[in-house]
Structure 1
Amino acid sequence: MNQTAPSPAFRREEPDARRLSLIEACARVLARSGAAGASVRAIAQEAGASVGLVGHYFGGVDALVSATYDHVDRQVAQALDKAVATAGDDPRARLEAFVTASFAPPIADPALLATWIAFWSLVTARKDIARQHDEQYAGYRARLEGLLGDCGVATTARRRHAIAVTALVDGLWLELCLSPGCFTAQEARDIARDFLALITSSDR
């Protein structure tokens, strides 16, 4: 009987798909049950996979949670990059797009907040997660400093302004996800734009 063997490309992609399914399942478990509930068994059940598959791809739950943190951060970064690219070439528009993208889907999402809170809860308990947290926030601030520089903000002022903008965005994002009835996404965008106008006009 003639049987068509799977192509090499298919064989390469299948493990990647299985690995991704475990990462996505881990994110859902973290959002629903927090870090304490993210056991190998719970994640495997969520993914419809065997417990052994988690060990095969990640070696254990700690490595899977770490990989999930990286994956979620990449998704956020991609959403920010898309917003900046859509804004065109104007430096001010690109800066505003980067900052205000956090107040719209897929970033302004209660499920994402729940997953992120689970990661934050591990920062003080796990050095690898603390390192990832520091690297991710440093990357966000570095991107923000570059966009501020494109708008003419002085080199000496960029770091402190990037820290301030990051804190403002985090605070607004948290409240928007936790209590969406307190203010609208448009109000959050307006608050952020007002602050950007202030710092970009005063530090040239």
Structure 2
Amino acid sequence: MKAHSPHSGPHQPAFRRQEPDARRLALIEACARVLARLGAAGASVRAIAVEAGVSPGLVSHYFSGIEALVAATYAHVEDKVNEAIDEAVNAAGQNPRARLDAFVMASFAPAIADPQLLATWIAFWSLVTARPAIAAQHDEQYSGSRARLEALLGDCGVPAERQRRDAIAVSALVDGLWLELCLSPGCFSAEEAGAIARRFLDTLI
């Protein structure tokens, strides 16, 4: 899920002729790579500056501190995942069950069931209990995802009084399958994960 920024030549400034938004994005992508490789404990301004090929001062120019950069990176990674899921749902057409299946199955696609993306998420999760801003982002992300799932379940005829709990159950199943698929991809396939999830959806609808 991460995008790689171009490498500059050995004697060229890393951000020559780049627009400010591109510079900010390159720092966010560098932060994501550092988080995946070193974890939250290794994500310092210096480490991210080295990864991006810039001075620590340039990082400080765009972000007030490491916490602000990590928060921006969390939001960026979340947006990329949501974009991939939205694309899958939109490609499924107008059939409610097809759209629900697409929402669930998107988590098992290679772009999301990716060990490096998992490493980045683990770094974020490790900060949830320690940093209120990250905890708030996590709660907002989970609530938004669950609300989308509730709406898809409702479109499939699940009664309103069941939608919240059913969405929590589906989310927990999908998250567990996604986690195991990232950690141990040889144990079962994305197709098997999808079949398990669809069978569970059959019991709800």
TM-score greater than 0.5 by the shorter chain: yes
* Residue 203 of structure 2 is aligned to residue 187 of structure 1: no
Per the alignment, in what secondary structure is the counterpart of residue 129 of structure 2? coil
* Residue 39 of structure 2 is aligned to residue 18 of structure 1: no
Report deviation, 1:53. 1.0
Q: Match for residue 60 of structure 2?
A: 55
* Residue 148 of structure 2 is aligned to residue 143 of structure 1: yes
> Aligned residue pairs: how many?
189
Runs of 4+ in 1 over 2 A off after TM superposition: none
Report deviation, 1:109. 0.4
Q: Match for residue 42 of structure 2?
A: 37
Question: Residues 16-165 of structure 1: matches in 2 within 5 Å?
Answer: 16-165=21-170
Query: What amino acid is the match of 1:127?
Result: P
Name whichever structure is richer in helix by fraction.
Answer: 1
Q: Match for residue 5 of structure 1?
A: none
Question: Residues 163-202 of structure 1: matches in 2 within 5 Å?
Answer: 163-200=168-205
Report deviation, 1:181. 1.0
Query: How far apart, CA to CA, are the structure 1 residues paired with 2:156 and 2:58?
Result: 49
Report deviation, 1:166. 0.4
Normalising by structure 2, we get a TM-score of 0.91
Query: What amino acid is the match of 1:44?
Result: A
Query: How far apart, CA to CA, are the structure 1 residues paired with 2:39 and 2:162?
Result: 38
Per the alignment, in what secondary structure is the counterpart of residue 18 of structure 1? helix
Query: What amino acid is the match of 1:125?
Result: A
RMSD: 0.9
Which of these two proteins has the greater Rg computed from alpha carbons?
1
Per the alignment, in what secondary structure is the counterpart of residue 19 of structure 2? helix
Report deviation, 1:47. 0.7
Query: How far apart, CA to CA, are the structure 2 residues paired with 1:49 and 1:66?
Result: 20
Report deviation, 1:49. 1.2
Query: How far apart, CA to CA, are the structure 1 residues paired with 2:59 and 2:204?
Result: 48
Unaligned regions of 5+ residues in structure 1, if any?
1-10
- Deviations 1:106-146 (CA, angstroms, capped at 9, x unpaired): 11100000000000000000000000000000000000000
Unaligned regions of 5+ residues in structure 2, if any?
1-16
